């Protein structure tokens, strides 16, 4: 069982342990973390089910316990851009908690998923009694903002091959805690999804992935990519010392 946190109604000890591997949640004081979980409500989504859409009113804070959620935007013509995939035990939805404005993007279940939801009213009440916790939410938002700035710069300046390597590294951080030492890191992302994240055609994305596969850096399978040599991927991604620190900061803690 996670240290300092009791079992909160429907949450199991295994789920609590999973949540504690999240870099943000794992750094919270036990008092704030315990109160946050006490307010959480369970929810299940079927594959393709919408959690919320751009323009929807703010509805609180969320965490992914199982499955995966797709964060995306689109045009009236139906063209979609995938911003990210949310895997366990990631937390999200904090921006609207601060400004109270409508949601900026669509969030849809990529696969059958289980999430926890801390509703807006309950969260606001908690923050009134624990004003110091605003800083904790600010840390979560700042981590997201750093990644957004990095991805924006990559999109504007980096060649496609470097952008691909860097995006694979960012995506791998959420699953590293579940990787057995010596085993490959498996990303549940398809070539099409990866191409949409990078604004690249599926053909271009496939060509670059095949090149990396030939070098023994990764293995491409249906609906997933196995990272075999993350060290070499870091070299190819040309991460700066600051970006390496951010990457380390995002790494989940190992489960005990």
pLDDT at 252: 64
- pLDDT for residue 27 is more than 70: yes
CATH fold of the domain at 159-249: Arc Repressor Mutant, subunit A (1.10.10)
The dihedral sign for the CA sequence 152, 176, 115, 75: positive
pTM score of the predicted model: 0.82
Please give the average per-residue pLDDT across 236-245, as a whole number: 88
pLDDT at 8: 61
Check: CB of residue 205 under 8 Å from CB of residue 164.
Answer: yes
CB neighbours of residue 227 within 10 Å: 22
Tens digits of residue pLDDT in 120-170: 999 999 999 999 999 999 999 998 888 888 888 888 899 999 999 999 998
- The domain ranges of the chain are 13-147, 159-249
Please give the average per-residue pLDDT across 175-185, as a whole number: 64
Q: Residue 123 phi/psi, 5° resolution?
A: -65, -45
Does the domain made of 13-147 have the CATH classification 3.40.50.2020?
Answer: no
What secondary structure does DSSP assign to the chain, as a single string? --TT----TT--HHHHHHHHTSTTGGGS-HHHHHHHHHH-EEEEE-TT-EEE-TTPPP--EEEEEES-EEEEEE-TT--EEEEEEE-TT-EE-HHHHHH-PPPSSEEEESSSEEEEEE-HHHHHHHHHH-TTHHHHHHHHHHHHHHHHHHHHHHHHHS-HHHHHHHHHHHHHGGGGGGPPTTSPEEE---HHHHHHHHT--HHHHHHHHHHHHHTTSEEEETTEEEES-HHHHHHHHT--HHHHHHHHHTSPPPP-
């Amino acid at each position: 069982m996670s240290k300092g946190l009791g079992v909160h109604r429907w949450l199991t000890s295994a789920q609590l342990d999973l949540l504690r591997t999240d870099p943000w949640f794992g750094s919270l004081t036990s008092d704030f973390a315990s109160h946050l979980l006490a307010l959480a409500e369970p929810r299940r989504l079927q594959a393709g089910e919408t959690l919320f859409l751009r323009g929807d009113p703010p509805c609180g804070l969320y965490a992914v316990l199982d499955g995966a959620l797709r964060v995306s935007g689109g045009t009236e013509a139906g063209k979609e851009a995938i911003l990210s995939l949310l895997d366990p035990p990631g937390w999200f939805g904090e921006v609207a908690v601060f400004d109270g404005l409508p949601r900026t993007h669509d969030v849809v279940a990529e696969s059958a998923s289980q999430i926890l939801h801390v509703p807006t009213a309950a969260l606001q009440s908690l923050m009134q009694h624990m004003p110091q916790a605003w800083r904790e939410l600010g840390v979560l938002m700042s981590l997201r903002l750093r990644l957004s700035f990095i991805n924006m710069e990559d999109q504007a300046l980096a060649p496609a091959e470097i952008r691909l390597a860097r995006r694979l590294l960012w995506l791998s951080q959420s699953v590293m805690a579940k990787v057995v030492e010596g085993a490959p890191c498996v990303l549940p992302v398809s070539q099409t999804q990866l191409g949409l994240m990078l604004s690249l055609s599926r053909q271009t994305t496939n060509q670059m992935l095949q090149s990396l596969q030939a070098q023994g850096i990764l293995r491409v399978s249906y609906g997933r990519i196995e990272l075999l040599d993350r060290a070499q991927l870091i070299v190819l991604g040309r991460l700066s010392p600051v970006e390496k620190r951010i990457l380390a900061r995002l790494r989940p803690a190992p489960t005990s």
